[in-house]
Chain A
């Protein structure tokens, strides 16, 4: 499917629309796993050398009366030297007990450049497992920012293969849990050839009885010399019952590499809180400012100012304990 063949104004528009769509963005709706208007799975393809002029916003929804259990696959293919930006979001439109298993295959051919922002915002009874299978050819550049804002159980398996020299992959992730939510990230990133770069930053803020598991493996195969691979996972526990499990791993079989990883689990800084309070900022607000600052390091990876600011508002609302409802949405269900 070519970009130009996509249907941007589906029938659903009457029911669900963005009052203020992002500037320079096209919208496509993925209803219960298939492209609205086309009825087929999402198969996005950029031909060699094709440059997307606008971002593509893929709005994934689970609709009322739709199947409770659903499995589907999306593919994204970026031809040689092509470039594009994708925003993909997942929402639930009714309080049905949804279970979604999604496979996402992303292929970047030589010299392609892609940026993905993935926003997951489902209700507390929804379970969403997504397996990302990603491969990058020589000189390809991929940036992906995951924002797991809300959901009963969210599991993201991310498998990245750097298959061509000088490929570069940057992954950012922010996960926010409260109530009894659980969010897991399971990452396998493999440097299969020399001279590739990868950088990962995943941060979580966990409140109430929220749980998160981070399991991240960087593997550098024997011949992948001059690899640069970095990984960091930081968790902020707001309540005494929240739990974060983190397992950063490096498996390095080459000897000329630069690799590092680090993981922390901590709490809000009392010195910073006191400093803010002496300026008249109330405790709750001081805590929020600190959490926003913690989250911002991930948000700032989003290159579009407009999208970043919008995501920042959603994160802030979320941290205030509200469901991350975008004020631009006509539907207040999610």
Chain B
């Protein structure tokens, strides 16, 4: 299988505070990796660095995505190359409707691939189809991006956007936080529908719960900016039972 993402010795800091302290991670097409870990271990930092957030400075190491130096690419270039970040806290953009936002995004992606922009009818058809993935009501399309959405609606909107953009590598940052059981099932079903042999997922979560629905091939435990354990999906159950303490102690 092809390696889609290769992270080597990644160090990143914010305001001189080192948060990632040597991450190594390899993801192949067709795989789903879960990243777990206690609060403050660096999970969200890792996802932000992958998406190109400029508030974090990479001080050491490399990220090769699909044979390209990811760190040299702007956030929009990463998106064009197929990277998608599902935000833990999706941003509200008052005044920009979901439909205009998605139209700008989808047509830019098409432009980058040398395709014509979608016509209004085609675009709406695509919107409707993908909204049904996450059981989103069509009334959301006219509303401002995430404005007045509940926590669950925001997360569904993230998955909807992912479905629209069809990324090759999707990073879902605590997509399960703030979701009730029904919303969790909807979100997970949406993700599972998009799994293909040529794409990959990184699922960041605190809880084993989500991993009952989105079954990972590999689980990594992040602690203090390093991966302290990598194992199969059974690791989630062990963490659910014993917490992170035992793993942390084994490492210290």
Contacts and interface: CB of A to CB of B under 8 A. Distances in A.
Contact of A293 (B76, B93, B161): B93
Contacts, number: 71
A282 B105 CA distance: 9
Contacts of B161: 279
A271 B75 CA distance: 12
A301 B53 CA distance: 36
Contact of B76 (A280, A289, A294): A280
Main secondary structure of the interface of A (DSSP, over half): helix
27 contacts: A271-B91, A272-B91, A272-B93, A274-B53, A274-B91, A275-B87, A275-B90, A275-B91, A275-B93, A276-B93, A276-B101, A277-B76, A278-B84, A278-B87, A279-B101, A280-B80, A280-B109, A281-B76, A281-B108, A282-B108, A289-B100, A289-B104, A290-B93, A292-B96, A293-B144, A296-B95, A297-B95
B155 to A, nearest CB: 14
A290 B54 CA distance: 19
Given A275-B93, A281-B108, 8 more contacts: A275-B87, A278-B75, A279-B102, A281-B76, A285-B108, A292-B95, A293-B93, A293-B96
Interface of B: 51-54, 74-76, 78-80, 84-85, 87, 90-91, 93-96, 100-102, 104-105, 108-109, 112, 144, 161, 165
B80 A283 contact: no
A293 B92 CA distance: 12
Contacts of A285: 104, 108
Interface of A: 271-272, 274-283, 285, 289-290, 292-294, 296-297
B96 A283 contact: no
Given A274-B53, A289-B104, A280 B95 contact: no
A290 B104 CA distance: 12
A280 B165 contact: yes
A281 B104 contact: yes
Contacts of A274: 53-54, 75, 91
